[in-house]
């Protein structure tokens, strides 16, 4: 959701900013812009489209300097065009800002500023910030920013430069912001990926903190102007983790990384026949578990409910974070709220943990140092490594793995016997995932028959119903084909009306007690002319062979772990369909990674 980067130092700033924008492009990619303090004047260039368009536009332009800010946009207010893209400037072109977030009271502020004589030229909520700072500017940028943001309602990660001061001011409320500390150079960015190749020393800025960067120094203050002691932390990721490593897309690379990333989630957490998690919660005192999340993470949450209830017997409910936060949920003191988020910055999930003030909170998060990770009482990091592809893949399987560990941990702390068959199978799961990835060619071949389809249904049952939801989400978000997930048995309550010879239906069918029932659902589809793609660990079953147009066989595993296996062909299928359609898999239209606005 918009990426921001700023640099101050001795080096030529434009390549650093463009490079940073490319790393941040997964956060937004409908327009981009750059502003450099060049010979005591602010020089700005903006361009609709991807960073490459901006980069091409810069060729032959004399924009040089060692201080600058840049932004890649995911439009919320105002269409993607040059005027609406950032940086935004004040009336005299002396102050430039980049903004991630939403200024909720921008209409009322705009009226006040226009009455004061300010000329606001864009349709964005962000531009008013430049004019507010201009209003308060009196030869001290930091003071002007502090005064301006007192009038702002909403969320912001802001970076500001001005023609007459050699510094960058950055401030946040509700949108992520980190500072990178280099040798005689400083960076500000929405996330670590943009600065990782220059420095690993970072400070995670908290809400209502303001930072002043000069090339040799930084200070972090609260909004009363008092210095704050901020911890300098070391980023653990390496540069090669945020590069494509020979894969055509980040999504494909991340699909292939899953065996390894699950091993990283499990690493050190199963030892001496025990589950070792630093989650100091006595499950005997838990009344109920509430899991909240959005999108793919919400699908993991649904699997988490199934796992926790089955393995530990503790009642668990799941809520979309966006619904939970606005419906006055009943939260008892002895409830446990779990927030699942890859980015750790999703605005709705963050808001959900903030309303759960009276109970303990646990975060299952990938990005170390993210806001959710810092605000919860306990955390389980995924250690999946950076997920850059907008469509979440490895975060999903690592979230499910973390939830299995947590369910086992609860059971262990309740004093109940652990199922070592399940634990051993969990340890072996990476090998089984790799065996599916080895058959990607076959899945690609099947996908080539699907690229012109208009509609898909994904059907699964029990713990694999959320996998059906996830398969449908993956397909629609990157291939723009309409797809819906349902519990297989629900089909006859409505969706069956959609089935005709143009409908593709993906079934997830594992051996087990409901096998026959799902096969009956397959028959119902076949009888109505639908085409069936079956993901199954029983590829040789006569009925499966008879009913399926395409079969993707997967290794057998225990029910609790089957989502980790079944989701892999669904991810690959979505990827190959979207790629066969020639779509930009890593940057699907209208989407952005890390939804930091409501
Ligand atoms: C789908 C996808 C989104 C995210 C959702 C939550 O592929 O990536 O649905 O899962 O925006 O994001 P996090 O997990 O960062 O809170």
d(CA 264, CA 252): 19
pLDDT of residue 589: 84
- Per the model's pLDDT, the better-predicted residue between 337 and 495 turns out to be 337
Decide: 372 in ligand 1 pocket, CB within 6 A.
no
pLDDT digits (tens, 9 = 90+) for 431-454: 999 999 999 999 999 999 999 999
> In terms of Cα–Cα distance, which of 307, 288, 286, 298 is closest to 349?
298
pLDDT of residue 408: 98
Mean pLDDT of 229-233: 93
The answer on 251 and 192 residing in a single domain is: no
Residues facing 458 on adjacent strands? 485, 506
Cα 327 to middle of ligand 1, angstroms: 22
Q: 6: which 2 tokens?
A: 């700023």
The answer on 150 and 14 residing in a single domain is: yes
Decide: 391 in ligand 1 pocket, CB within 6 A.
yes
Alpha carbon nearest to ligand 1 atom 11, residue = 295
Q: Give the C-alpha distances (Å, rounded to integers) separating 170 from 210, 501, 549.
A: 6, 57, 57
Of 216, 235, 254, the position where a domain reaches its end is 235
d(CA 23, CA 26): 7
Specify whether 135 is catalytic.
Answer: no
Which of helix, strand or coil describes residue 330?
coil
How many C-beta atoms surround the C-beta of residue 517 within 10 A? 12
Which of 2, 162, 294, 538 is an active site residue?
A: 2
The answer on 519 and 380 residing in a single domain is: no
Helices (H) and strands (E) in the chain, counts: 18, 26
Alpha carbon nearest to ligand 1 atom 3, residue = 295
Residue 14 has pLDDT above 80, yes or no: yes
Q: 241: which 2 tokens?
A: 């983790």
Which of 47, 215, 253, 593 is an active site residue?
A: 593
Decide: 294 in ligand 1 pocket, CB within 6 A.
yes
Residue 2 has pLDDT above 90, yes or no: no
Binning pLDDT at 50, 70 and 90, where does residue 109 land? very high
Decide: 393 in ligand 1 pocket, CB within 6 A.
no
Q: 134: which 2 tokens?
A: 């201009």
The answer on 457 and 549 residing in a single domain is: yes
Q: Give the C-alpha distances (Å, rounded to integers) separating 221 from 230, 308, 464.
A: 9, 43, 49
pLDDT digits (tens, 9 = 90+) for 169-222: 999 998 889 999 999 999 999 988 899 999 999 999 999 999 999 999 999 999
Cα 120 to middle of ligand 1, angstroms: 34
d(CA 97, CA 31): 15
d(CA 574, CA 302): 21
Widest CA span of the chain, in angstroms? 81
Alpha carbon nearest to ligand 1 atom 7, residue = 391
Q: 510: which 2 tokens?
A: 């594992």
Residue 28 has pLDDT above 90, yes or no: no
Decide: 341 in ligand 1 pocket, CB within 6 A.
yes
- The DSSP line for 518-562 is HHHHHHHHHHTT-EEEEEES-TT-HHHHHH-SEEEE-----GGGH
Specify whether 360 is catalytic.
Answer: no
Cα 330 to middle of ligand 1, angstroms: 25
Decide: 392 in ligand 1 pocket, CB within 6 A.
yes
- Per the model's pLDDT, the better-predicted residue between 594 and 564 turns out to be 564
> In terms of Cα–Cα distance, which of 24, 55, 38, 124 is closest to 83?
124
Mean pLDDT of 124-130: 95
Cα 296 to middle of ligand 1, angstroms: 5
Distance of CA 400 to the CA centre of its chain: 16
The domain that contains 180 carries what CATH number?
Answer: 3.60.20.10
- For helices 562-580 and 420-437, what crossing angle results, to 10°? 20
The domain that contains 312 carries what CATH number?
Answer: 3.40.50.10490
pLDDT digits (tens, 9 = 90+) for 533-558: 999 999 999 999 999 999 999 999 99
Of 436, 468, 497, the position where a domain reaches its end is 436
Which of helix, strand or coil describes residue 18?
helix
d(CA 270, CA 404): 11
- For helices 420-437 and 258-266, what crossing angle results, to 10°? 160
Q: In which domain, by residue range, is 227 found? A: 3-235
Decide: 297 in ligand 1 pocket, CB within 6 A.
yes
> In terms of Cα–Cα distance, which of 476, 434, 429 is closest to 578?
476
Cα 593 to middle of ligand 1, angstroms: 7
The answer on 222 and 126 residing in a single domain is: yes
The answer on 415 and 390 residing in a single domain is: yes
> In terms of Cα–Cα distance, which of 334, 332, 309, 304 is closest to 319?
304
Of 409, 436, 463, the position where a domain reaches its end is 436
Q: Is 417 domain-assigned? A: yes
Q: Is 595 domain-assigned? A: no
Domain count, the chain: 3
Residue 515 has pLDDT above 90, yes or no: yes
Mean pLDDT of 556-577: 98
The answer on 380 and 464 residing in a single domain is: no
The answer on 508 and 405 residing in a single domain is: no
Mean pLDDT of 400-411: 98
Decide: 477 in ligand 1 pocket, CB within 6 A.
yes
Binning pLDDT at 50, 70 and 90, where does residue 591 land? confident
Burial class (CB in 10 A: 0-12, 13-18, 19+), 510: buried
The answer on 231 and 273 residing in a single domain is: no
Supply angle C-alpha 188, 194, 196, rounded to 5.
95
Output DSSP code: residue 482: E
Residue 1 has pLDDT above 80, yes or no: no
> In terms of Cα–Cα distance, which of 525, 410, 520, 506 is closest to 464?
506
The answer on 178 and 317 residing in a single domain is: no
pLDDT of residue 590: 80
pLDDT of residue 74: 80
The answer on 504 and 444 residing in a single domain is: yes
Output DSSP code: residue 59: T
Mean pLDDT of 42-60: 94
Binning pLDDT at 50, 70 and 90, where does residue 29 land? confident
Cα 298 to middle of ligand 1, angstroms: 8
- Per the model's pLDDT, the better-predicted residue between 299 and 30 turns out to be 299
Long-range pairs for 495-499: beta carbons < 8 A, 24 or more residues apart: 495/457, 496/524, 496/525, 496/528, 498/455, 498/457, 499/457, 499/524, 499/525, 499/528, 499/529, 499/530
- Buried b / exposed e over 134-169, threshold 16 CB at 10 Å, is bbbbeeebbbbbbbbbebbebbbbbbbbbeebebbb
The answer on 214 and 291 residing in a single domain is: no
pLDDT digits (tens, 9 = 90+) for 520-534: 999 999 999 999 999
Residue among 297, 349, 350, 471 to mutate when testing ligand 1 (max atoms within 8 A of CB): 297
State the average pLDDT for the chain. 94
Q: Is 96 domain-assigned? A: yes
Residue 357 has pLDDT above 90, yes or no: no
Residue among 176, 291, 296 to mutate when testing ligand 1 (max atoms within 8 A of CB): 296
pLDDT of residue 239: 80
d(CA 457, CA 503): 8
Q: Is 219 domain-assigned? A: yes
Q: What is the dihedral of CA 387, 173, 327, 75, to 10 degrees?
A: -60
Residue 76 has pLDDT above 80, yes or no: no
pLDDT digits (tens, 9 = 90+) for 469-490: 999 999 999 999 999 999 999 9
Cα 470 to middle of ligand 1, angstroms: 11
- How many CA within 13 A on the CB side of residue 169? 28
How many C-beta atoms surround the C-beta of residue 319 within 10 A? 18
Q: 280: which 2 tokens?
A: 């100091």
Which of helix, strand or coil describes residue 106?
helix
Q: Is 590 domain-assigned? A: no
Cα 224 to middle of ligand 1, angstroms: 35
Q: Is 322 domain-assigned? A: yes
Q: Is 520 domain-assigned? A: yes
| Sheet of 209-213, strands arranged across | 88-89, 95-100, 156-162, 165-173, 209-213, 218-222
Decide: 588 in ligand 1 pocket, CB within 6 A.
no
d(CA 336, CA 355): 13
């Amino acid at each position: 959701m918009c990426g921001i980067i700023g640099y101050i130092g001795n080096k030529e700033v434009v390549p650093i900013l463009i490079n940073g924008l490319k790393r941040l492009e997964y956060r937004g990619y409908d327009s981009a812009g750059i502003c450099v303090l060049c010979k005591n004047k602010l020089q700005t260039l903006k361009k609709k489209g991807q960073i490459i368009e901006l980069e091409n536009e810069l060729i032959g332009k004399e924009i040089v300097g060692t201080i600058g800010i840049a932004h890649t946009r995911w439009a919320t207010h105002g269409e993607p065009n040059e005027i609406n893209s950032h940086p935004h400037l004040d009336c005299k072109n002396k102050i430039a800002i980049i903004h991630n977030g939403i200024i909720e009271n921008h209409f009322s502020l705009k009226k006040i500023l226009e009455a004061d004589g300010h000329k606001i030229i864009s349709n964005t909520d962000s531009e008013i910030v430049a004019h507010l700072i201009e209003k308060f500017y009196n030869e001290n940028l930091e003071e002007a920013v502090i005064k301006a943001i007192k009038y702002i309602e909403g969320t912001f990660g802001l970076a500001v430069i001005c023609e007459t001061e050699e510094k960058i001011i950055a401030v946040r409320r509700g949108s992520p912001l980190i500072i990178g500390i280099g040798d005689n150079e400083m960076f500000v960015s929405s996330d670590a990926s943009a600065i990782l190749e220059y420095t690993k020393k970072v400070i995670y800025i908290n809400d209502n903190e303001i930072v002043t960067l000069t090339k040799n120094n930084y200070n972090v203050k609260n909004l009363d102007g008092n210095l704050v002691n901020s911890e300098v932390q070391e980023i653990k990721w390496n540069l090669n983790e945020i590069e494509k490593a020979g894969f055509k897309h980040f999504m494909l690379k991340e699909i292939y990384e899953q065996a390894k990333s699950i091993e990283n989630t499990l690493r050190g957490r199963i030892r001496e026949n025990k589950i070792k998690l630093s989650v100091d919660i006595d499950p005997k005192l838990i009344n109920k578990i509430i899991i909240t999340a959005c999108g793919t993470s919400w699908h993991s949450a649904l699997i988490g409910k199934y796992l926790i209830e089955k393995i530990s017997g503790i009642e668990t409910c799941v809520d979309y974070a966006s619904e939970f936060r606005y419906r006055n949920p009943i939260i008892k003191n002895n409830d446990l709220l779990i927030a699942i988020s890859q980015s750790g910055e999703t605005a709705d999930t963050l808001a959900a943990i903030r309303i759960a003030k009276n109970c303990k909170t646990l975060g299952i998060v990938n990005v170390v140092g993210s806001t959710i990770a810092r605000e919860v009482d306990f955390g389980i990091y995924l250690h999946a490594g950076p997920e850059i592809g907008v469509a979440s893949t490895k975060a999903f399987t690592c979230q499910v793995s973390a939830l299995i560990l947590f369910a086992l941990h609860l059971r262990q702390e309740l004093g109940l016997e652990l199922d070592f068959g399940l634990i051993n199978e969990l340890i072996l799961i990476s090998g089984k995932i790799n065996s599916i990835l080895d058959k990607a060619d076959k899945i690609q071949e099947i996908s080539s028959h699907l690229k012109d389809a208009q509609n898909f249904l994904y059907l699964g049952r029990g713990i694999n119903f959320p996998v059906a939801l996830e398969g449908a989400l993956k397909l629609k978000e990157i291939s723009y084909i309409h797809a819906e997930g349902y519990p297989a048995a629900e089909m006859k309550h409505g969706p069956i009306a959609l089935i005709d010879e143009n409908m593709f239906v993906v079934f997830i069918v594992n051996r087990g007690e409901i096998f026959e029932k799902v096969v009956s659902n397959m028959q119902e589809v076949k009888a109505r002319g639908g085409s069936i793609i079956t993901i199954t660990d029983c590829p040789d079953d006569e009925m499966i062979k008879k009913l399926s147009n395409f079969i993707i066989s997967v290794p057998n595993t225990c029910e609790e772990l089957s989502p980790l296996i079944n989701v892999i062909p669904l991810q690959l299928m979505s990827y190959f369909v979207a790629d066969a359609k020639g779509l930009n898999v890593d940057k699907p239209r209208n989407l952005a990674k890390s939804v930091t606005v409501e």
